[in-house]
Amino acid sequence: MKIVVTGGAGFIGSHIADAYIERGHEVRVIDNCSTGSERNLNKKVSFYPLDILDPKIPEVLSKISPDVFCHHAAQMDVRRSVADRQFDAQINILGLIYLLEASKGAGGNRVIFGSSEGAIYGEQERVPATEDHATRPTSPYGVSKLAGEHYLSYYEQTHGIPYVALRYSKVYGPRELSTGEAGVVAIFIGKLLSGEGPTIHGDGKQTRDYVYVGDLVEANILALETELRGPVNIGTGRETDVLTLVSLLKENTGSKLSAVHGPAKVGEQMRSSLDSSHAARKLGGVPRTPLEAGLENTLAYYRQRTSA
């Protein structure tokens, strides 16, 4: 198949592009590299260094005539979404609409959408959450991702563009940015390897369901090969608080540095974990990599980059 991966030079998108290429698909990547990097790109992809709101997008998509859109270009920083709600909506909502409008006449007949890290559920009444859990986002980021799912449902009903929205829990692994605010595992590793104590926002008791990027890639492969539609949780169902995460990373790095506590993030959830039983039934696979093993793989990657 011909597949367009938006955000395909980024942390998650580049891993997905690699996996699609390994399976013999033709992959085109659209990315403005605002957070991604060309060094993440597989040599076999065709790369279009464009923003998803670029006026050239409709012409480019018309020429490609893709079979599938795998949409992972996004504004992913919860704190930035709170500080700049218009920017968040422009990328995550208007950017998606622009692509869907362009895709109507470009041949794209299926969308795989990288949805939120559990942010659309808000403070969970049930942990882990299933797909029928109430959606009450506590941040503009969560609102924009939920709006994206609603727009995808609209375009499926009115224009016949089928979609699956993979609702990711907290993704981590090689290629995640160790700068900025979005990738806590990479940020903590970067601090520890550089001899600095990591900063924990709040008391550190907030929990997340950490899913290794390799398991996420498998979900995107299975989504490509099945007819599953609508929202699907991709998580481990296991909660890990920030204090435990720091402890595991300190143990693996041999660091004796103490963490520093800073103010809690505005709009941050206290607990988040996703039930993937629907994915197990419909996709035939769920995340299986234990956190400890995933952290070891991620640390090995950053140690190699540091020594290079």
- Position 179 scores a pLDDT of 67
Residue 170, token pair as written in the block? 């907290």
- Position 165 scores a pLDDT of 97
Residue 69, token pair as written in the block? 């859109």
- Position 181 scores a pLDDT of 58
Residue 20 bears catalytic tag: no
- Position 308 scores a pLDDT of 59
Nearest CA-CA partner of 78 in 211, 277, 267: 267
* Interatomic CA distance for residues 216 and 89, integer angstroms: 25
Mean pLDDT for each consecutive 10-residue tract of the chain (308 residues)?
97 98 98 95 98 96 94 91 95 97 79 89 94 94 96 95 95 86 86 92 94 96 90 96 96 92 82 94 87 96 82
pTM for this entry: 0.95
Burial of 216 (0-12, 13-18, 19+ CB in 10 A): buried
Q: Which of 20, 48, 141, 210 is catalytic?
A: 141
Nearest CA-CA partner of 200 in 163, 142, 249: 249
What Rg, from alpha-carbon coordinates, does the chain have? Answer: 19
- Position 279 scores a pLDDT of 94
* Interatomic CA distance for residues 194 and 144, integer angstroms: 35
Helix axes 291-307, 242-253, angle to 10 degrees: 50
Place of tokens 């942390």: 11
Q: In what order do the strands lie in the sheet with 26-30?
A: 46-48, 26-30, 2-6, 68-71, 111-114, 163-168, 230-234
**Which amino acid would we find at residue 210?**
Y
The secondary structure of residue 129, as a DSSP letter, is: B
- Mapped onto helix, strand or coil, the DSSP state of residue 236 is coil
Nearest CA-CA partner of 32 in 75, 84, 67, 61: 75
Going 227 to 216 to 34 to 83, the CA torsion angle's sign is: positive
- Mapped onto helix, strand or coil, the DSSP state of residue 182 is coil
